[in-house]
Amino acid sequence: MPRIVHPPHSKSPPTHPSGLLGTRVGFVPAPLNKPANEPTHKAAYSPLRSLCDHPQLQAPIDAVLTKTAATQRRPIILRRSAEISAEALIRSALTAHRLYPTTATQQTCLSAYSLLTPSHILSTTTTFSRAPLQILLSADTLLGGTGTPHVDATERIHALSSLITHCHNSPADHAPVLAAIAHAEITNSNAFGPRSPLIGLLASRLVATTFGLDPHALFVPELYWVRHRDELHQQIKDFNTNPRGVITWVESSLQSWTVGADEASGIIQQF
């Protein structure tokens, strides 16, 4: 994979998400700090809790967590995770190029996905958990961009960055939901111009890897989106304009991880 060149550190994001992002994913209009009377254990205040507990999402979230965990428990993962991940990431990058063929070349897609290769995954996820914007800017650079988000999307991207850092150490059910939110927010923000949908897709992978849904980068959720590209484009728009669209989008994103886990199982059988 090509060498990764990280851009300079980005400015610190705001301490809480913007009102627009909060409205879309069910935030209350308050800072992301834990309420004074909230206990300090696992149940501490979570900006995604209401969405994770939505009755239409609870069962699909549980199903995805069960499916992905079972795939990762295969004994061969302990011995050959690096090889399996490398194959999965190549498939993911090439499938992402099929989804957005005019946005980047196959080579630049492979370069961007190299952020998650075994030799880089630890440094990438460590940085992403505390400074996600820095990794997103790296991805933009690797895809041929300037590594600078558009000025009119800065607030929205900083709000997402704040949400990601706040969700560090969140319960397991947050990971697939946060991955869906990151994907849609970056795509809709147009922060990186024509590369925004591809960086949104990659951001969902970064969230999944950093927050434990796919810690070894074994899955290929891009395969689902290639099969449902028309729904992808429409649901992305509905996420931005229709409160009901948020739930529909998260449901589809959950399905992408189920398909991605199935593809990972097929790769595992080759080893």
Tens digit of each residue's pLDDT (9 = 90 or more) over 109-135? 999 999 999 999 999 999 999 999 999
Confidence label for 23 from pLDDT (cuts 50, 70 and 90): low
* Alpha-carbon dihedral sign for residues 106, 107, 109, 114: positive
The burial of 150, by beta-carbon neighbours within 10 Å (0-12 exposed, 13-18 middle, 19 or more buried), is given as: middle
**pLDDT exceeds cutoff 50 at 230:** yes
Q: pLDDT tens across 39-88, in order?
A: 333 445 578 999 999 999 999 999 999 999 999 999 999 899 999 999 99
**pLDDT exceeds cutoff 70 at 17:** no
CA distance 80 to 19: 45
Q: Which residues contact residue 166 at a Cβ distance below 8 angstroms, ignoring those fewer than 6 apart?
A: 32, 47
Amino acid letter, residue 106: Q
* Residue 98 DSSP one-character state: H
Kindly calculate the radius of gyration of the chain based on its CA atoms and give it in whole angstroms: 17
Model pLDDT, residue 169: 85
Task: Give which of 121, 27, 57 is closest to 253, Cα–Cα.
Answer: 57
Mean of per-residue pLDDT scores for the chain: 87
Say if CB 163 and CB 181 are below 8 A apart.
Answer: yes
pTM of the model: 0.86
